[in-house]
Amino acid sequence: MKRFLLFVIIFSFVLAGNAQLNPVTWSFSATKIADKTYEIHMKAIIQSGWHLYSQNQPEDAIAIPTTFVINNNPLFTKEGTIKEVGKIEKMKDATLGVSANQYSGSVDFVQKIKLKSNAKTNFTGTVEFQTCDDKKCLPPKKININVAIK
């Protein structure tokens, strides 16, 4: 019984430690670049030793790509797709025969929008992402995006 209790306590600390692990910090902002035109910046700061995956992955990738779901808003239109600004790394594991497009350090995901009128609104949605280091991958995580457009 004591061994079982010790196992449960240790296992609880391991789970709590993994639950606290958050190697990516996100920030969201809007920059006015022209009349009624904004760039929405969704910036990921990645802790040293960790990787965040690109939205676009090769055929043989096992990585879960970063995915954005932007809520429809009748006050603006999206101009193009979300661009990635950062130094992409093309990882290839010859042993497993897989590859991935990933970022280290930081990456800025940028979506251009055009307001239909001079109204205040919000750019909202979610980002789902996965991070890995050289030994393990964390389960995918989803966070909310909410940027005020003034």
What local confidence, expressed as pLDDT, does residue 8 receive? 34
Q: What is the pTM of this model?
A: 0.84
Residue indicated by tokens 């910036």: 43
CB 88 within 8 A of CB 108: no
What local confidence, expressed as pLDDT, does residue 1 receive? 41
The string of DSSP letters for 74-88 reads TTEEEEEEEEEES--
Overall average pLDDT of the 55-82 stretch: 95
What share of the chain has pLDDT > 90, as a percent? 75
Model confidence at 76, pLDDT cuts 50, 70, 90, reads: very high
Identify which has the larger pLDDT, 131 or 17: 131
- The number of C-alpha atoms within 13 Å of 116 and in the hemisphere containing its C-beta is 7
Domains and CATH numbers, the chain: 23-149 (2.60.40.1250)
Model confidence at 58, pLDDT cuts 50, 70, 90, reads: very high
